[in-house]
Amino acid sequence: MSIDIAVVPVAGIGTRLLPATKSQPKEMLPVGRKPVVQYVAEELAHSGIRRLLFITGARKTTIENHFDEDSELITHLRDSGREHELAELDFERQDMQYFYTRQRRQLGLGHAVLCAAPLIGDQPFVVALGDSIIGMHAQSDIVGRMLDEFEKARADVVVAFEEVPESDVEKYGIAKPRGPVGDVFELESVVEKPVRGEQPSNLAVAARYVFSPKIFDFLRQTKRGKGNEIQLTDAMHEVLQAGGKGIGLRLKSGEQRFDIGNYQSYFRAFTEFALADDKEGDGLRDYLKELLRET
């Protein structure tokens, strides 16, 4: 069985990033040269995903435009003798098919994933949140490693985790491991945004999941939870409670997760990516050194 389809939820309103996200999706915010969601698509392509199903919403049409081939732009670059800039559009031709469906009501991440059920049907699938980048150059193969573990363990739920400081456990789904925690470990449960001090570990859900289609049965029954939303974490908990097999994978060093869901981590991500830019990074580094000396 080879899994080549990923669901990418991008329907959230992005209230933590207002006013920047009032009329544009947070997934289209630039990090260095590219919008966040382009890194996500490139990372998934690198792990063998060939079909992306975006769960979108109102205000999100620029995501669809971004992945279309823009013949007008191509002609314009050719006619004005700037063919060398066409390389910037290579991602348009990557080996990937794009599909879109709308989450028509803002009922949370669990509900967004459930919107994929009629199209995914009875097959396992990947979920990659459209507001998180893994590693600097979209070269992480975390999803490929998760798919290997999914098949090896005949799992129902596989989740990527990243260790976070205690002050951050309230922002994420947190792993409750069963037994010792290595690079790959067994998952007893996941708890959505626990109160600080009550977290079962410091391992935070890092925006990449693999599910067997069983998750849909549980999502259909999941009641509203934290934030009055239908939580994917709650459905995962129920799958595991009912005897489903759960596996956690830890991100490796060099696979840092950049969460473009709040300004502090967005600013950090932008700075790191800009500093790593081939052409502009060195100039920016000199400028920042100068700037910091003055303050």
Q: Which residues bind ligand G1P (CB under 6 A)?
A: 109, 129, 132, 172-173, 192, 204-205, 207, 231-233, 259, 261
**96: nearest Cα among 142, 156, 152, 138:** 138
Q: Measure the CA–CA gap between 170 and 164, rounded to whole angstroms.
A: 10
**191: nearest Cα among 141, 248, 149:** 248
Q: How far is the CB of 103 from ligand G1P (least distance, A)?
A: 13
Which C-beta is closer to ligand G1P: that of 106 or that of 139? 106
Q: How far is the CB of 24 from ligand G1P (least distance, A)?
A: 18
Which C-beta is closer to ligand G1P: that of 94 or that of 202? 202
Q: How far is the CB of 260 from ligand G1P (least distance, A)?
A: 9
Which C-beta is closer to ligand G1P: that of 95 or that of 156? 156
Q: How far is the CB of 174 from ligand G1P (least distance, A)?
A: 8
Q: How far is the CB of 44 from ligand G1P (least distance, A)?
A: 16
Which C-beta is closer to ligand G1P: that of 8 or that of 205? 205
CA distances from 15 to 22, 23, 227 (A): 8, 11, 13
E-strand spans in the chain?
Answer: 5-9, 30-31, 34-35, 51-56, 97-102, 125-128, 132-134, 157-163, 173-178, 184-192, 203-211, 246-250, 257-259
How many DSSP H helices and E strands does the chain contain?
10, 13
CB-nearest residue to ligand G1P: 173
Which C-beta is closer to ligand G1P: that of 84 or that of 223? 223
